[in-house]
């Protein structure tokens, strides 16, 4: 590649990249050339992918950006069967919902909830169409500190809170009928929402405090008795996630196959 760049620079008579031992960055001329060539390269890739549609089995790479919750609770019911159906497709999954523009980062599609969907995107329902958050604590913690009977009582309890990568610390929300209550959880442990969730659950199992997480995630702990449901009548429910992708004329064959597969396996409302 370095030889090809040097030949291009010699042919054009201009320097296209600044090179150091630590980085390679485009010059002003190089960036201008990239900007002008990008549409042509995109059209060429779309033309090649259109030919891929004539194959008996679509092939290529599908790159997905998803939250950790989707990687844990949604994709395990979909991806194994998809990979068996389309053995020529290679799937790359990045479990990181902090990427602001997944398409600029090179992903084909993402999974998000409706309040975090980017504008002007096509959204396809994926996974369960209704989910809920659950509040839980270990039997030992509740024996030691007592069981809260109202969300406001959580202000006197140790809560395992979470923080997004951008620093935002979400409130805990509770609903019962028309009543909506938000509290700011506080306690001895704060985890990153995503990679730190398993640590938070383990801490809750060991009696460090209460944790609020997807009910589906906590269900095995309820069934084993390691955690106990708390304030269950107040658990909030919300719509399930969506697979979203850019509105473009030609959808890559691996993504089209995945979209069709997801639609065929859609969970009825």
Q: 17 near 24, Cβ under 8 Å? A: yes
Higher pLDDT, 209 or 15: 209
For residue range 84-131, list pLDDT tens digits in order. Answer: 999 999 999 999 877 777 888 889 999 998 877 767 788 999 999 899
Q: What is the pTM of this model?
A: 0.74
* Mean pLDDT over the full length of the chain: 89
Distance (Å, whole) CA 64 – CA 111: 8
* Per-residue confidence (pLDDT) for residue 161, from 0 to 100: 96
> What mean pLDDT comes out for the span 204-212?
98
- Residue 64 bridge partners (DSSP): 93, 109
pLDDT winner (highest mean) among 67-81, 110-124, 236-250: 67-81
DSSP secondary structure letter of residue 29? H
* Per-residue confidence (pLDDT) for residue 51, from 0 to 100: 65
Distance (Å, whole) CA 50 – CA 68: 32
- Residue 5: what are its φ and ψ, rounded to 5°? -65, -45
Higher pLDDT, 24 or 126: 126
* Per-residue confidence (pLDDT) for residue 53, from 0 to 100: 59
Q: What is each CA distance from 26 to 15, 23, 29, 111, 250, in whole angstroms? A: 9, 10, 8, 32, 29
* Per-residue confidence (pLDDT) for residue 52, from 0 to 100: 60
- Report whether pLDDT(184) > 90: yes
Task: Tell which residue, 223, 215, 230, 222, has the closest CA to residue 158.
Answer: 230
């Amino acid at each position: 590649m370095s030889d090809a760049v040097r030949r291009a620079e010699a042919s054009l008579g201009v320097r296209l990249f600044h090179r150091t031992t630590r980085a390679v960055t485009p010059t002003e001329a190089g960036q201008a050339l990239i900007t002008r060539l990008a549409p042509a390269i995109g059209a060429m890739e779309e033309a090649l992918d259109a030919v891929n549609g004539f194959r008996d089995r679509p092939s290529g790479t599908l790159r997905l950006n998803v939250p950790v919750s989707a990687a844990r609770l949604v994709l395990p019911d979909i991806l194994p069967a998809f990979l068996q159906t389309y053995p020529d497709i290679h799937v790359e999954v990045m479990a990181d919902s902090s990427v602001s523009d997944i398409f600029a980062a090179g992903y084909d599609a993402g999974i998000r909830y409706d309040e975090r969907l980017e504008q002007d995107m096509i959204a396809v329902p994926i996974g369960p169409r209704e989910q809920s958050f659950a509040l839980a604590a270990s039997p030992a913690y509740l024996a030691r500190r007592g069981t809260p009977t109202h969300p406001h009582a959580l202000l006197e309890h140790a809560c395992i809170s979470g923080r997004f990568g951008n620093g935002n610390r979400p409130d805990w929300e509770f609903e019962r009928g028309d009543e909506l209550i938000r509290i700011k959880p506080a306690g001895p442990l704060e985890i990153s929402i995503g990679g730190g969730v398993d640590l938070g659950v383990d801490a809750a199992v060991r009696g460090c405090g209460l944790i609020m997480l997807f009910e589906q995630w906590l269900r095995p702990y309820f069934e084993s008795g390691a955690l106990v449901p708390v304030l269950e009548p107040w658990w909030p429910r919300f719509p399930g996630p969506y697979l979203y992708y850019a509105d473009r004329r030609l959808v890559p064959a691996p993504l089209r196959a995945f979209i069709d597969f997801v639609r065929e396996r859609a969970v009825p409302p």
